[in-house]
A and B are shown apart, each in its own frame.
Chain A
């Protein structure tokens, strides 16, 4: 390589290729990080404790004497280990995260600050009720908001996540049916439903039957009406649905379902699209879970925790699970098994050990109060505006299967139709990674071939949307032109495409010392 007199190479190409290999495997700010089992030791600790007083052990013959095999790191090494790992993650704090149906919106930091106030974070769930009145007030205040925003009768706050909320809703429905001596065995679920819907229905002991979709991506009302009968317990409908469309016939569906003696469960994962603009209670919904980690912006945390309160109609309210909070005069009362009989004889029981996701309640209430009634309505407006902007900015290069039927709601759905032979949704998704974006939801909903479900959310600026649109347009054009390089993407991520087949065929789920692992083979 020739150098200038200052010592810099003369040709840009040489700069790009020079020094691509490093001895450590690190690349400047991108640091490779070994496992704690490879860098730590069981004799190392990052904490110190006061010396334990000398006592006679009460552990009997149960003293743990084996080597547990838990490595420790000093505090500084711990901070580095997790900081380095964190940098191998994409996150909403880094950029647009358009995962359809998952609602990755900005997580305001005030919410984190409030959740950490000792008056909330350092409370025991079984502390005497006189000492937790403020916490019960939070649950009650949030419950009031949820009930009012949805136009429903009441809310069960304890479910731990969306799928747990589905369980709550179906258990309430089953309890209500049993209370009137009406055993029913079938739950109808649209083909486009989230996988949790049929899984939940099956868990509750129901037979699951699909409802077909119309060509414009909605529930086939006539097919549904034809299937309703004395054996159908409930219909589970996502609205707006997973194609990003509002179920126009929702009220007619609800009326038909009720006329047949069944209940309407609404999957509220997409409530973000309609909060403040539509109340599910006005559409005849009997039960709907609300993912606080979606609509109300409690952070997803790399896979939870979520929180899934379930709003209930008057018909289902008596069957709500324990515990719940009631206001009596100026005081708040946590109604548990101890006091339940007198008030709530028909409850279907308890779903979790304590009272639900308090840490998510404080965050969600903080978010709700920050927006207020006017701001929440604007949330839905901007979420839908952003999605339609993406839909109409790209429907000339990507196939939008339902784009002809009118506007979408909070997410824009595209398919892989028109890509060059051998090019898939996966290639576009992996290409987006190199462009600095998280991919959209891929291959869901199942009713569209090679689905790409893009949900920008309301917290993206127009500039961010424009950059994303430019990147996705470019990738669509490359995939249509058959640009083979796309099939190798991502090139610039911490890892290239990973071998998921190998992982499933020979599962390695825990770390084993290399010598032991070798001996086992």
Chain B
């Protein structure tokens, strides 16, 4: 898994390797400095020989500058390496998602993809910086300081033999106890966020039912659960500081007592006052690095979960790819389904579509009617190869869709999705998704076709009107008409409307269909609709029921023989009523 992640370091390998190298320099300096300090103190003790003080002072000064340079360099390379690594990770994730097929997308929810690209990458970035800075620094410091402590303090260094295991055990225990509590707490925290989100989205329901108090009470319970869990976890963590202090203080007392004894009894030959002070510094450095090691451990465990989620996306392979020597030319808009069966995932029990046989000639208008769950959407998504069939084949222009170059195919088969999205940007920008080169006249013409020009012209900024994210500032019907215009701009050979006029009033709906008939007669048009009126005049109407074709025919034919069609029709148009 880590190998997979490491692949994203790429051009930042140099700073990533330089950081620990600089770190070694810094740590070395930091370990030498106490030794020089000891000499300095000894010079003071020895009656303040000025020339010695100046000598060691200058040396120390130089060491400080060297340490500073190494530290600063390591800091800068670490920043570049980690920020760069994060950039590459985001890049790889985003590019990966762009290769996803619909079924890949279905497997990850939108919000989980967003979290992976943001929060998870941030966590990994922090962990990465930790690794290249501290993971080298802390153990190195531990070793260097210990060596120096033995070197300077001789026998005194045995004090550490008692203290280090104590602190290591204490820190280990704290982590061992706290981690599971934290994990549980984070799960509850997700629940908390979920409940807030729900309330923001459903505020109209809350207010309509006057359930503010109820929601506040519910939220209180969730929020308190989070509080209790985190408090519990942090109470365990509360042992960390005191454990550290215990080690630090006992080390200091032991060292000072024995040092005093040794110095005095040896007459300052075995050990001196300067050594005492540097021993104290080394003991601090040793304990601090132990503390850091434990911190890294916690950080890494937390980042591990994020890393796993990132790799999950990177490992996902798109199940729809171009064949070699793919066909790039779509001859015409004819469609043929032969013995098509389809299910959304290989291990799904039920087929969404089974035994579909259907032939549509180029230029025909086809309506599709059927209840929810009758797989209308599944059917049309096979045409532009948004999903691959499980059995059988779908042919467009006489060629199996799997033999086409995907881009070429999708440029000729334009689908207006049921759950459609506009992007933040002007109307012009949004429409040009269909054709980047389209000029103003072309866009205007298309908008007239899709009955969108009527309301666009009423906006003060007309085609330059800014659309908010998700099209939040246009109504449902307006959004649908813009989406149709966007698809029309592609000038496709096949145009598919998946319930794309449901929020458009019947009159406009009829005008759109009229425009289709008159302006793009050669384009094959497939219309999924709830309203019979939307498909009534189609050349052919397909009635889907439970994933199977129940009947195919014209409006009049179906009215005489299809029970389902009749039922739908009469529920919408009471017999003998006005619209004959």
Q: Do A and B interact with each other, yes or no?
A: no
- A contact set with B: CB distance below 8 Å: none
- B contact set with A: CB distance below 8 Å: none
